[in-house]
């Protein structure tokens, strides 16, 4: 029982941390988006992702017991305890990066949620059913910008392709099954990464074709984000994300 | 799926629930929005199940605080529980809620197909809340809150919000 809970908590972190870190990256753009409309859109997406994280972390806190809360999980872990993939921690280098990162995540996230809706774990199924409606809007938004930039001017095309060339090698990590994901899938709670991967590839193929972009052929980056090994980017993210709780432990609003 | 039935509850409890609205859309009461899923009473204590519209909706916490306050004013205490399943859909907005939205200047959600036409294909199907023309154009897929998109009427030139279909 205890072991099962441990895997389930770890799985909730794998699910939640992607949304938390990507939500944080998007929140950095609040007031800095290239136009008012995109600024609002990106921060709205950020808000949706934070909402989803809260549900996952509240559940994880309940399973953990003791003093654990959604806030301690979000704010008080050490870097090696975060379980997100490397893609989502990549910085907001330019707007093409922001859109490329968002699209690649959405193209993975939507089919993931489509499977989690049928999870044997009622809580995960409920969060997925809620999130899926929001994520459809996210994918629509990011796909339409992929097309606009990829099939836009020479400059926007070149930047979009270059962002994708940098980001694409990080996406293979989504589908590298960890021990936790395997256990949780076998228990009927998790998702079949192979099915997700084929939907993901199709979405990428379709949108890239419309956006006049080439699918990069560079090999996969060897990354272990889901096992807690992160790039140098995470340190900077946590410095900001955790600042208040580190400077004023247990502060509340 | 219909909203909680208030008829069997004492009048003050009904009144309290009917007076609370979404702080970001003050014309829409929480009953009209369909976020109150269940209400039951044990003596002077009210148990309420609320469901969020969007996961990250910051108005949810405020609504819970407002409900408690309105009930306390009438001598009741309350426990509010957030439930996620079944997930809220814009179909749960009542007809009077839709009318209130329109009167307030927010176009009520269309059916999923028309919604897609309007938001993705750029078709002119959303009706301007000022002049009623459908010669309208989406300005931004996300508006002042996650649940709305921003539109502009090409006839009367007024900007307005459209409440996106969530199903």
CATH of the domain at B72: 3.30.300.130
Residue found under tokens 């459209």: B162
Indicate if B74 and B25 belong to the same structural domain: yes
Residue B21, in any domain of the structure:
yes
Decide: B47 and B81 in contact? Cβ < 8 Å. Answer: yes
Residue B6, in any domain of the structure:
no
C-alpha separations of A71 from A19, A47, A120, A158, B65 in Å? 15, 16, 26, 41, 20
Helices (H), A151-178: 154-167
pLDDT per position as a tens digit, A100-122: 999 999 999 999 999 999 999 99
Q: What is the ipTM of this complex?
A: 0.79
E-strand spans in A75-208? none
Instruction: Measure the CA–CA gap between B11 and B130, rounded to whole angstroms.
Output: 36
Q: Would you say residue A209 has pLDDT above 60?
A: yes
Indicate if B78 and B127 belong to the same structural domain: no
Shortest distance, CA A163 to any CA of chain B (angstroms):
23
Best of B141, B149, B152, B159 to mutate (most A CBs within 10 Å, chain A): B141
Asked which of B36, B66, B91 is the last residue of a domain, the reply is B91
Residue B49, in any domain of the structure:
yes
- Per CB-CB distance under 8 Å, the chain B contacts of A45 are 142
Indicate if B86 and B116 belong to the same structural domain: no
Which residue in A50, A123, A130 is closest to B87 by CB distance? A130
pLDDT per position as a tens digit, A46-66: 999 999 999 999 999 999 999
Best of A22, A46, A51 to mutate (most B CBs within 10 Å, chain B): A51
pTM recorded for the entire structure: 0.90
pLDDT value at residue A199: 98
Torsion angle of C-alpha atoms B136, B139, B143, B147, degrees rounded to 10:
50
Which residues of B, range 107-126, sit inside 8 Å of A by Cβ?
A: 119-120
Which residue in A36, A37, A51 is closest to B55 by CB distance? A51
Residue B42, in any domain of the structure:
yes
Domains of chain B: total: 2
Helices (H), chain B: 11-19, 30-33, 59-73, 95-104, 112-119
| C-alpha dihedral sign at A150, A154, A156, A157 | positive
- Region A222-243 average pLDDT: 95
Residue B150, in any domain of the structure:
yes
> Minimal Cα distance from B166: which residue of A?
A133
Q: Which residues of A touch B (CB under 8 A)?
A: 36-37, 40-41, 44-45, 47-52, 54-55, 122-123, 125-127, 129-131, 133-134, 137, 140-141, 144
> Minimal Cα distance from A140: which residue of B?
B120
Indicate if B134 and B86 belong to the same structural domain: no
Q: What is the token pair recorded at B90? A: 């814009």
Residue B2, in any domain of the structure:
no
Indicate if B74 and B121 belong to the same structural domain: no
B3 pLDDT band, cuts 50/70/90, is low
Looking at chain B, the whole-number percentage of residues with pLDDT higher than 70 is 98
Best of B146, B152, B161, B165 to mutate (most A CBs within 10 Å, chain A): B146
Of B129, B117, B126, nearest to B158 by C-alpha is B129
Decide: B101 and B107 in contact? Cβ < 8 Å. Answer: yes
Q: DSSP state, B92?
A: G
Domain segments of chain A: what residues? Answer: 2-218+229-247
Looking at chain A, the whole-number percentage of residues with pLDDT higher than 90 is 93
Shortest distance, CA B108 to any CA of chain A (angstroms):
18
- Per CB-CB distance under 8 Å, the chain A contacts of B145 are 44
**Which residues span the domain enclosing B47?**
11-91
Indicate if B52 and B74 belong to the same structural domain: yes
Indicate if B65 and B111 belong to the same structural domain: no
Torsion angle of C-alpha atoms A49, A50, A56, A59, degrees rounded to 10:
-160
Decide: B59 and B50 in contact? Cβ < 8 Å. Answer: no
Check which CATH number belongs to the domain holding B120 and give it. Answer: 2.20.25
Instruction: Measure the CA–CA gap between B91 and A196, rounded to whole angstroms.
Output: 29
Indicate if B17 and B84 belong to the same structural domain: yes
Residue B99, in any domain of the structure:
no
Q: Buried (b) or exposed (e) across A150-166, using 16+ Cβ within 10 A?
A: beeeeebbebbbebbbb
Could you say which of 1.10.260.40, 1.20.1260.10, 3.30.465.10, 3.30.1370.60 is the CATH number of the domain covering A2-218+229-247?
1.20.1260.10
pLDDT per position as a tens digit, A192-207: 999 999 999 999 999 9
Decide: B33 and B92 in contact? Cβ < 8 Å. Answer: yes
Shortest distance, CA B119 to any CA of chain A (angstroms):
9
Indicate if B64 and B111 belong to the same structural domain: no
């Amino acid at each position: 029982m205890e072991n099962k809970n441990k895997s389930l908590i770890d799985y909730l972190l794998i699910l939640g941390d992607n949304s938390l870190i990507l939500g944080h990256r998007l929140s950095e753009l609040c007031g800095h988006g290239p136009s008012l409309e995109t600024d609002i859109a990106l921060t709205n997406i950020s808000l949706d992702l934070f909402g989803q994280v809260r549900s996952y972390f509240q559940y994880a806190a309940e399973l953990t017991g003791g003093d654990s809360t959604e806030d301690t999980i979000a704010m008080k872990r050490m870097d090696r305890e975060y379980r997100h993939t490397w893609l989502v921690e990549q910085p907001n280098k330019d707007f093409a990066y922001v859109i490329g990162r968002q699209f690649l995540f959405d193209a993975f996230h939507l089919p993931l949620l489509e499977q989690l809706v049928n999870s044997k774990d009622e809580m995960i199924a409920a969060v997925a059913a809620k999130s899926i409606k929001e994520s459809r809007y996210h994918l629509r938004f990011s796909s339409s910008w992929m097309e606009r930039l990829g099939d836009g001017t020479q400059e926007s095309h070149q930047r979009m392709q270059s962002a994708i060339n940098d980001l694409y090698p990080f996406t293979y990590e989504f589908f590298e099954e960890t021990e936790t994901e395997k256990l949780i899938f076998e228990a009927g709670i998790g998702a079949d990464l192979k099915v997700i991967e084929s939907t993901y590839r199709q979405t990428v193929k379709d949108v890239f074709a419309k956006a006049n972009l080439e699918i990069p052929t560079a090999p996969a980056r060897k990354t272990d984000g889901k096992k807690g090994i992160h790039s140098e980017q995470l340190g900077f993210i946590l410095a900001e994300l955790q600042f208040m709780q580190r400077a004023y432990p247990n502060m509340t609003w | 799926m219909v909203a909680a039935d208030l008829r069997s509850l004492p009048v003050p409890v009904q009144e309290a629930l009917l007076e609370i609205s979404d702080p970001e859309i003050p014309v829409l009461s929480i009953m009209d929005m369909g976020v109150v899923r269940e209400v039951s009473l044990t003596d002077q204590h009210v148990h309420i199940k609320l469901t969020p519209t969007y996961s990250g909706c910051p108005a949810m916490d405020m609504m819970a605080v407002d409900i408690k306050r309105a009930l306390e004013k009438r001598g009741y205490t309350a426990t509010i529980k957030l439930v996620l399943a079944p997930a809220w859909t814009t179909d749960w907005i009542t007809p009077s809620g839709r009318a209130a939205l329109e009167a307030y200047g927010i176009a009520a959600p269309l059916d999923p197909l028309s919604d897609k036409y309007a938001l993705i294909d750029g078709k002119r199907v959303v009706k301007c809340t000022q002049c009623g023309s459908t010669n309208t154009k989406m300005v931004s897929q996300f508006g002042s809150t996650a649940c709305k998109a921003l539109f502009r009427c090409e006839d009367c030139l007024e900007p307005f919000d459209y409440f996106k279909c969530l199903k």
